Amino acid sequence: MITVDKVTVGYGTTGFIKAVDEVSLTINDNEILGIAGESGSGKSTLMRAVYGDFSTGLRIQSGTVTGRFEDARTGKVIEAPSSQFAPLWWDQLSYIPQGSMSVLNPLMKIEAQVVDGLPARERQGGSRALRQRIAEFLAGFGLEETVLDAYPHQLSGGMRQRVLVAIAAFVNPRLILADEPTTALDVVVQKKILLMMVEIQRRQRNSLVLVSHDLGVHYQITDRLVIMYQGRIVEQGPTAEVFANPQHDYTKNLIASLPRLHGKRAVEVVGAPA
Amino acid sequence: MTGAPILEVQNLTRAYRKGGLFGGSSFKAVDDVSFTLPAEPQVFSIVGESGSGKTTIARMILRLVEPSEGSIRLLGRPLSGKSSDRIDNTEFRRLVQPIFQNPFEAFSAYLPVEFYLRRTALNLKIARTDAQAVEATDLALKSVGLSYERIRGKYIRQFSGGELQRISVARALIPKPKLIVADEPVSMVDASLRMSIVNLFRQIVEEQGVSFIYITHDLSTAYYLSDQVSIMNTGRVVESGAPTRILDNPTQAYTRELMAAIPTVGQRWGELAEIDRKFGYADTRQKSASTHQTINHNAQCDRRKP
């Protein structure tokens, strides 16, 4: 699906600030790939480079990101570097950005925003038939048709996020990139959204990349896990393996720092940063 | 007033009107909540989902929102009303300090952060001169593992989220308060730094004798940190008690639901196996581990200082 080969990505037009440092990685067909790491580890930058959104001053300094997409209808295979992905957005690949709570336009009803992003072929049957199809798709995730007539502020944060996930999946893209899709949501809503994302992936047999700093989330839903630290990948492997047998010190640290619900509760006071 | 409970909350209710100018209905964000924080310093956690009313309680304790009914007493004295022993504003702010969710919104981006810390010391009359303010600020910063020298002249964007949240904790400590109300203080902080902040709270309770009201949707940090936990749902307390009692043996269905939603390592959600079955998806986790690799860089990634 996507091959990332020794890519170094950063920002800046005059200088260059490196955010991702010689990273290599493969995104396979039909899998959920998790990317973990703390803020500033380069996970969002890597996502943007894979999505091919260079509008924010993002620059690939060296290495390549290439994608191979097969059009389900025509069977035509498209192979291209990520800088040429823009025509494929919302068709072959969709992106659920960080803080998507606020990416919806407050002045437009949900329906108009959904339709706005769809490729032309989806609109061929006329707007009523399209609405019908969108409503049916939403119903599959327990969302009522009335959300289409709502303005974003009329929906709760969790509801908005579910709508966004549904929009991203509606055109049956081959790759969905989700950047911290459940951060700042409470656990009950988070669980609903994660289950919805897994169901979409299993149904559509596409690839889902999930960026999160929450290792618990990765343990639950990802098939493979990549750990990033300071712009580099320090460890990757099948999720269960990484948890059962972490190799890198940083991964061990991350796993050890997870609070547990049962058992030992004794508080060890960790020293403050020097 | 030695021995008076730090905080007594009795039948606290906050109602909001919903709907038309006439008629409409009333909606209770907080509905008849009572609890007590004893005189001994401790952490009292209020856990609930968004919309459960936990933040409204925090706001009432901080006097940012007036209760519709019920009372709050701090060290035996009423927070509101006309009574003569009512606590005045400066005194209140010396006794009770807030820490909010997003430290980047707690300080302005246009002034160095140490300015706010010095202002806190001066406004609350902890210091009378600038030199004393610097001294009080430095003392507070040292207790969170920073120092005045280290943060001087820096603006918020020059700090990481974890560092800045430590600075908010230091700011709250300047007047040597009795109670800190922390509303989702770690939900914006990375998982790896979250525990260091939570441990810092515990350290402050034990070393400085400050009590905490810890408001969170995260049961696991509440379990780890608290002496008492209250679980809230739709404005009411559904269950409360010692964390080991509640979480090892929850009596309420809602508490169990909340616990089941936590993405715990080591215990996969049952619903996931169902989805896999439904779509005939073989569990890839069972596949060979041969692809598991660690990447060793020439320049070894040094672990961030503990």
Provide DSSP, B84-112. TTPPPHHHHHHHEEEE-S-HHHHS-TTS-
Nearest CA in chain A to B249: A262
Whose CA is closest to B293, among A1, A250, A227? Answer: A227
**CB contact A204 to B (< 8 Å):** no
Structure tokens at B106: 């707690």
**CB contact A109 to B (< 8 Å):** no
Chain B: closest CA distance from residue A123 (Å) = 29
Strands across the sheet containing B7-18? B25-37, B7-18, B69-74, B77-78
pLDDT at B45 over 90: yes
Whose CA is closest to B247, among A61, A170, A262? Answer: A262
pLDDT score for A269:
37
Contact flag B305-A274 (C-beta cutoff 8 Å):
yes
Chain B: closest CA distance from residue A25 (Å) = 12
pLDDT, tens digit, 9 for 90 and up, residues A213-224: 889 999 999 999
pLDDT at B298 over 60: no
- pLDDT band at residue B81, thresholds of 50, 70 and 90? confident
- pLDDT band at residue B306, thresholds of 50, 70 and 90? very low
Cβ atoms of B182 and B215 within 8 Å: the answer is yes
Beta-carbon contacts of B33 under 8 Å, excluding residues fewer than 6 positions away, are B9, B11, B12, B13, B53, B57, B70, B232, B235, B236, B237
Identify the residue among A220, A224, A252 best suited for mutation to test binding to B, counting B beta carbons within 10 A and taking the highest.
A220
At A71, is the secondary structure helix, strand, or coil?
coil
Contact flag B191-A38 (C-beta cutoff 8 Å):
yes
* DSSP strands (E only) in chain A: 2-11, 17-27, 31-36, 58-70, 77-81, 93-96, 175-179, 207-211, 224-229, 232-238
Q: What percent of chain B has pLDDT over 70?
A: 90
Min mean pLDDT across B196-200, B246-250, B284-288 is at B284-288
- pLDDT band at residue B297, thresholds of 50, 70 and 90? low
pLDDT score for A225:
96
Contact flag A186-B217 (C-beta cutoff 8 Å):
yes
Nearest CA in chain A to B266: A219
pLDDT score for B290:
52
**CB contact A39 to B (< 8 Å):** yes
pLDDT score for B280:
83
Q: CB-CB: which of A213, A224, A270 is closest to B199?
A: A270
At A124, is the secondary structure helix, strand, or coil?
coil
pLDDT score for A44:
87
Summary mean pLDDT of chain B: 86
pLDDT, tens digit, 9 for 90 and up, residues B166-183: 999 999 999 999 999 999
Neighbours of B40 (CB within 10 A): 12
Q: For residues A245-255, b (16+ Cβ closer than 10 Å) or e, as one string?
A: ebbbbbbeebb
Whose CA is closest to B97, among B168, B31, B156? Answer: B168
Domain boundaries, chain B: 7-101+180-277
Cβ atoms of B47 and B57 within 8 Å: the answer is no
Chain B: closest CA distance from residue A3 (Å) = 16
Structure tokens at A30: 């039909």
- Alpha-carbon span A155 to A146, nearest angstrom: 11
Taking chain A (274 residues) in runs of 10, the rounded mean pLDDT of each run is 92 85 93 89 90 88 91 82 87 78 82 83 84 89 87 83 86 90 83 92 93 91 94 93 91 80 50 36
Alpha carbons within 13 angstroms on the beta-carbon side of residue B9 total 23
**CB contact A235 to B (< 8 Å):** yes
- Alpha-carbon span A18 to A11, nearest angstrom: 7
Structure tokens at B272: 């996931």
pLDDT score for B296:
56
- Alpha-carbon span B108 to B119, nearest angstrom: 13
- Phi then psi for residue B116, to 5 deg, are -65, -35
pLDDT, tens digit, 9 for 90 and up, residues A229-252: 999 999 999 999 999 999 998 888
> A 135-194 residues with CB below 8 A of B?
156-158, 184-191, 194
Chain B: closest CA distance from residue A204 (Å) = 10
Give ∠ CA B110-B116-B121 in degrees, rounded to 5: 165
Contacts of B161 in chain A (CB under 8 A): 39
Nearest CA in chain B to A247: B294
pLDDT at B144 over 60: yes
Q: CB-CB: which of B223, B260, B285 is closest to A238?
A: B285
CB-neighbour burial class of residue B257 (10 A; exposed 0-12, middle 13-18, buried 19+): middle
Structure tokens at B30: 């907080």
Contact flag A195-B272 (C-beta cutoff 8 Å):
yes
pLDDT score for B213:
97
- pLDDT band at residue B303, thresholds of 50, 70 and 90? very low
Min mean pLDDT across A16-20, A138-142, B254-258, B295-299 is at B295-299
Contacts of A258 in chain B (CB under 8 A): 191, 220, 265
Angle between helices B161-173 and B130-143 (to 10 degrees): 120
Tell me, what's the ipTM?
Answer: 0.80
- Alpha-carbon span A179 to A90, nearest angstrom: 16
pLDDT score for B98:
95
pLDDT score for A274:
34
* DSSP codes joined into one string, B225-260: H-SEEEEEETTEEEEEE-HHHHHHS--SHHHHHHHH
Instruction: Please state which CATH number belongs to domain B7-101+180-277.
Output: 3.40.50.300
Whose CA is closest to B218, among B189, B247, B193, B186? Answer: B186
Report CA Rg, chain A. 20
Q: What is the mean pLDDT of residues B48-56?
A: 87
Query: Please, what are the domains in chain A?
Result: 2-103+174-256 (3.40.50.300)
Q: For residues B126-140, b (16+ Cβ closer than 10 Å) or e, as one string?
A: bbeeeeebbebbbbb
Contact flag B49-A187 (C-beta cutoff 8 Å):
yes
Angle between helices B270-278 and A187-204 (to 10 degrees): 20
Q: CB-CB: which of A31, A242, A261 is closest to B262?
A: A261
Chain B: closest CA distance from residue A8 (Å) = 15
